[in-house]
Amino acid sequence: MAETVFAPWTDPQQKPLIQFKGVTKRFGDFIAIDNLSQDIYAQEFFALLGPSGCGKTTMMRMLAGFEAPTEGQILIAGQDVARVPPNKRAVNMMFQSYALFPHLTVWDNIAFGLRREGKSKAEIEPRVAEMLRLTRLERFARRKPHQISGGQRQRVALARSLAKAPKLLLLDEPLGALDAKLRQQTQFELMDIQEKTGTTFVIVTHDQEEAMTVASRVAVMDEGRIIQVATPPEIYEQPNSVYVADFIGDVNIIEGVAHPQADGYDILWVEGRQPLHAKSTRSFSNGQRCFLAMRPEKVAIGTEEPETRNKVKGRIIDIAYLGNLSTYHVEVPGGRIIKAQTANTRRLSRRTLTWEDEVWLSWTETAAVMLEE
């Protein structure tokens, strides 16, 4: 795929499309964005992920021109946009609240931006029709926003922001109200549009799977700061903090004390037990507190004692059946719970593990990431 080579952020020659330079946004004395610096490159699909109230919408609103940074600068295509009003920016935003015009039909809502450009009827009509088809709203073109469902409204908002084919598109939770199937289809449509038109997308989502699917890079935010920015595989496999590891997907966090060894680190985690072993790209001093983060699917579960260096005996206390996967919650010495995930390749009746079973958990030296905080 083309995505694998697309990595402008690694190339110092590339000029970013968007630059946040030490941007702080305060509402009264509340700090919504805290000294944030971030580059976003042209043709990126940049996903913002973070808990509610962490400042995602605020970032978008500053890009669209509805909020001015209290401190710092925002540059779009190298130009400071502080004095550029929203209607003069080549940016369209899809609002989290949709903000559909209640007095206009779906059709007129979508055509609104095109009309402002002074396009002729012959140009507007096919464009609106295309947007309606894309969002599967053809049948609702003549309805007013209050006559359609929540998911349909969301699609109108999406269509309206897409219609002008802007250079930069800001989507604030564009697919939250759609059912899983339609959401997936729309995700692929968005990626398709992105590929065809080269539009730069900044997208806010609460769904980390969605971020993983569509994004070229994912930014994980917390309390007005960006904690980590990385490609989806990197952010999943190499989180830089417990916060990110915990936010993206399911994870086991084991706290311990690091002791450097020739081939990595031994981690003492429960008094009087064999230490765990892990390799790390980060360096830890002797006796430093550390956290081991490992994904449940990298933890093997079995009834026989395995040959690996990292192994723990425990008892199954809960099984979460997810259809294609099962997650076993295993209580290990010290009262800690470690989750192990296996693919359900066999039928339910043929599986051997069940509640209260004594099992062995094991993982490789590279399966876990060592983190400082």
Partner 1 sequence: MRRLILIAVPYLWLLALFLVPFLIVLKISLSDTAIAIPPYTPTLDLAGGWAAFKDFLGQLDMENFVWLTEDDLYWKAYLSSVKIAFFATVLTLVAGYPIAYAMARAAPEWRPTLLMLVILPFWTSFLIRVYAWMGILSNEGLLNGLLLKLGLIAEPLTILNTNAAVYIGIVYTYLPFMILPIYSALEKMDESLLEAAEDLGCSRLQAFWLVTVPLSKQGIIAGCFLVFIPVVGEFVIPSLLGGSGTLMIGKVLFEEFFNNRDWPVASAVAVILLLILIIPIILFQRNEQKQREAEG
Contact positions vs partner 1 (CB under 8 A): 64-66, 85-87, 91-93, 95, 97, 99-103, 112-113, 116-117, 146, 160, 164
Which one, 92 or 208, has the nearer CB to partner 1? Answer: 92
Q: Which does 66 bind (CB under 5 to 8 A by kind): partner 1, Mg ion, ligand ATP, none?
A: partner 1
Q: Which does 261 bind (CB under 5 to 8 A by kind): Mg ion, partner 1, ligand ATP, none?
A: none
Which one, 125 or 237, has the nearer CB to partner 1? Answer: 125
What are residue 41's DSSP bridge partners?
Answer: none
Structure tokens at 78: 């190298």
Q: Applying CB under 6 A, which part among 27-35, 81-89, 242-250, 327-335 lies near ligand ATP?
A: 27-35
Q: Which does 350 bind (CB under 5 to 8 A by kind): ligand ATP, partner 1, Mg ion, none?
A: none
Shortest reach from residue 55's CB to Mg ion, in Å? 9
Tell me which residues in 80-139 interact with ligand ATP (CB under 6 A).
96
Shortest reach from residue 137's CB to ligand ATP, in Å? 24
Which one, 107 or 247, has the nearer CB to partner 1? Answer: 107
Which one, 100 or 361, has the nearer CB to partner 1? Answer: 100
Q: What is the 3-state secondary structure (H, E, C) of the chain?
A: CHHHCCCHHHCCCCCCCEEEEEEEEEECCEEEEEEEEEEECCCCEEEEECCCCCCHHHHHHHHHCCCCCCEEEEEECCEECCCCCHHHCCEEEECCCCCCCCCCCHHHHHHHHHHHCCCCHHHHHHHHHHHHHHCCCHHHCCCCHHHCCHHHHHHHHHHHHHHCCCCEEEEECCCCCCCHHHHHHHHHHHHHHHHHHCCEEEEEECCHHHHHHHCCEEEEEECCEEEEEECHHHHHHCCCCHHHHHHCCCCEEEEEEEEEECCEEEEECCCCCCCEEECCCCCCCCCEEEEEEECHHHCEEECCCCCCCEEEEEEEEEEEECCCEEEEEEEECCCEEEEEEEECCCCHHHCCCCCCCEEEEEECCCCCEEECC
Tell me which residues in 32-91 interact with ligand ATP (CB under 6 A).
32, 50, 52-58
Which one, 91 or 290, has the nearer CB to ligand ATP? Answer: 91
Q: Which does 102 bind (CB under 5 to 8 A by kind): partner 1, ligand ATP, Mg ion, none?
A: partner 1
Contact positions vs Mg ion (CB under 5 A): 57, 96
Which one, 100 or 254, has the nearer CB to partner 1? Answer: 100
Which one, 16 or 50, has the nearer CB to Mg ion? Answer: 50
Of 30, 179, 180, 196, the one binding ligand ATP (CB under 6 A) is 30
Shortest reach from residue 56's CB to Mg ion, in Å? 5
Task: Give the footprint of ligand ATP on this chain (CB under 6 A).
Answer: 27, 30, 32, 50, 52-58, 96
